[in-house]
Amino acid sequence: MSQHTTPGHSRSTVTKAQKFSIAGVATLGAAALAFSLVPGSSEAGTQATADVAPVAFAASTSAQQTVHASVTKQQSNADKQAKDAAAKAAADKKAADEAAAKKKAEDERKVKEAASRAAARKPVYANNLDGWIRQSLDIMKAKGIPGSYEGLHRNIMRESTGNPNAQNGWDVNAQNGTPSIGLLQVIQPTFNAYHVEGTSTNIYDPVANITAAANYAADKYGSMDNVNGAY
């Protein structure tokens, strides 16, 4: 059937292909508009990242600063504790050294005082008959040998008249080659047998002679006090 157009009216005819083309353009435009408005779009995402990133960075920096401050504080505390411990150890050592030095000084003082007291107590004997007898008596007392001043003095005066170098050259002992010698006229074998430790080994020494003779008399007669004649 043929188509007729009314005079004065133009009729445009849109083909099917043209319709599809128009629809496609419209669709693309709507999509572009929608994309530009969607929060997840490129521009919005970039903006959101720009807005969030500084906050996250700031939070990370703050945490690092907090950790650093904590570590610094712990290290400072550790250093202080170490210094305090070292100072205490030094103080303890100093106190111990001072105490040891004080004790040493005190011990030395006590030793000196004891030596001084001993020296003060130690008698000084005269270098004469009286001094020899008294020194012998002190040794006899320490060794447990009996005898008195009177007994020793009496026998000394009878035997030698107080002469430490006296020697008998005429009695039987002298005839046998062992003369009686010294204050109490002791022969050498008797002196050797009854010598008292701590005295001289010289038979002419007055203190050694008296003490050995007193030791012999104690063994034979009970004491020099019991001797009233030749013994």
List pLDDT tens digits, range 156-199.
999 999 999 999 999 999 999 999 999 999 999 999 999 999 99
For residues 191 and 205, is the Cβ–Cβ distance under 8 A?
A: no
Give the domain extent around 98. 58-122
The residues, ordered by sequence, that sit 6+ positions from 168 with a Cβ below 8 Å of its Cβ are 174, 179, 180, 181, 185
pTM exceeding the 0.85 threshold for the entire prediction:
no
In a domain, 208, yes or no: yes
Locate tokens 């445009």: which residue? 12
Locate tokens 């080659």: which residue? 177
Residues 143 and 171 occupy one common structural domain: yes
Measured at the CA of 185, the angle between CA 209 and CA 190, to 5 degrees, comes to: 65
The residues, ordered by sequence, that sit 6+ positions from 131 with a Cβ below 8 Å of its Cβ are 125
Share of the chain above pLDDT 70, in %: 73
Asked if the model's pLDDT at residue 121 lies above 50, the reply is yes
Answer with the one of 101, 122, 143 that is the final residue of a domain: 122
Asked if the model's pLDDT at residue 29 lies above 60, the reply is no
Record the tokens describing residue 228, joined without a space.
Answer: 């009233």
Residues 100 and 84 occupy one common structural domain: yes
| pLDDT, tens digit, 9 for 90 and up, residues 47-106 | 444 454 455 556 667 878 887 878 888 888 888 899 999 999 999 999 999 999 999 998
In a domain, 95, yes or no: yes
Confidence band for 16, pLDDT divided at 50, 70 and 90: low
